Amino acid sequence: MDNSSAPVVVVLDGPAGTGKSTVSREIAARLGLSFLDTGAMYRAVTYWMLANEVDVDDVDAVALASDKPAVVSGTDADGPTITVDGVDVSGPIREQAVTAAVSAVSAVPEVRTRMVELQRASALAAPRGIVAEGRDMGTVVFPRADLKVFLTASAETRAARRAAQLGITDAGEITAILVDINRRDAADSGRATAPLRKADDAVEVDTSEMSPEQVVTHIIGLVRDRAAARLG
């Protein structure tokens, strides 16, 4: 993008397994923008709760502890980082225990309020703009984003992608992944605070039959179209 342009905010929302992180990071790298993986932030909080033996099913306990972990999300698209209390947790936050608990922790209003503050601060600190991915970017965190994209894909496609990432070929294990994806979809869409939903002005992109490169190219085209319209 033109260095003279004003900072741009591009957001990608959607359920797990639609390729948000991979696509968002690549878009940010190609356009010279910062990158924010908000899902990693919620995972980092969840990891801290589990490590400190907070009962993640106790809403009051999670709310009380929500301001204790110091979560810092590095926004360099070429090497994004995530730390809690100064410790790199990029590996541990992807473990199954965190995956199983993150929806419950993310649903706690106090957790979301704190994370939204950090996410907006990251955008303000991005000199050229930011590409942020998550589940409520376009509806809650950045309602005035320059471009909102809502990624979708069938649950079966998303389960197959997750299995491929993990090197899983067993049919029973793939079915278990599908069950977990459906569970997370229901939890994310049904929570009272900032549920997963498409913003009214978002562009929906079904990635079921698209490669990551095709999705990246398509969205970069949308970004440039919006930038041209803004300048024109």
Q: Pairing state of beta strands 34-37 and 129-134?
A: parallel
- DSSP for residue 127: S
The pLDDT of residue 227: 81
Determine what percent of the chain falls in helix, strand and coil, rounding each to the nearest 5: 50, 15, 35
The yes-or-no verdict on residue 117 having pLDDT over 80 is: yes
The b-or-e profile of 206-219 (16+ CB within 10 A means b, else e) is ebeebeeeebbeeb
The yes-or-no verdict on residue 2 having pLDDT over 80 is: no
Q: What backbone phi and psi angles, to 5 degrees, belong to 79?
A: -170, 65
The yes-or-no verdict on residue 48 having pLDDT over 90 is: yes
Q: Tokens 């050229």 belong to which residue?
A: 128
The pLDDT of residue 212: 93
In DSSP notation, 70-86 reads -EEE---TTS--EEETT
The yes-or-no verdict on residue 232 having pLDDT over 80 is: no
CA 13 to chain centre: 7
Averaged pLDDT, 93-105: 92
Task: List residues forming the annotated binding site for ATP.
Answer: 14-22
Confidence of residue 190 (pLDDT cuts 50, 70, 90): confident
For residue range 61-81, list pLDDT tens digits in order: 999 999 999 999 999 999 999
For residue range 5-25, list pLDDT tens digits in order: 578 999 999 998 898 999 999
The pLDDT of residue 22: 92
For residue range 216-230, list pLDDT tens digits in order: 999 999 999 988 887
Neighbours of 40 (CB within 10 A): 23
Q: Tokens 């179209």 belong to which residue?
A: 225
Nearest CA to 75 among 115, 132, 144, 15? 132
Tokens linked to 134? 């998550």
The yes-or-no verdict on residue 137 having pLDDT over 70 is: yes
CB 32 within 8 A of CB 1: yes
The yes-or-no verdict on residue 127 having pLDDT over 60 is: yes
Confidence of residue 43 (pLDDT cuts 50, 70, 90): very high
In this prediction, what percent of the chain has a pLDDT beyond 90? 82
For 8-227, the fitting CATH number among 3.40.50.300, 3.30.1360.30, 3.30.160.150, 3.40.366.10 is 3.40.50.300
The yes-or-no verdict on residue 151 having pLDDT over 50 is: yes
Confidence of residue 3 (pLDDT cuts 50, 70, 90): very low
Neighbours of 170 (CB within 10 A): 9
Neighbours of 73 (CB within 10 A): 19
The pLDDT of residue 12: 98
The pLDDT of residue 49: 98
Task: List residues forming the annotated binding site.
Answer: 14-22
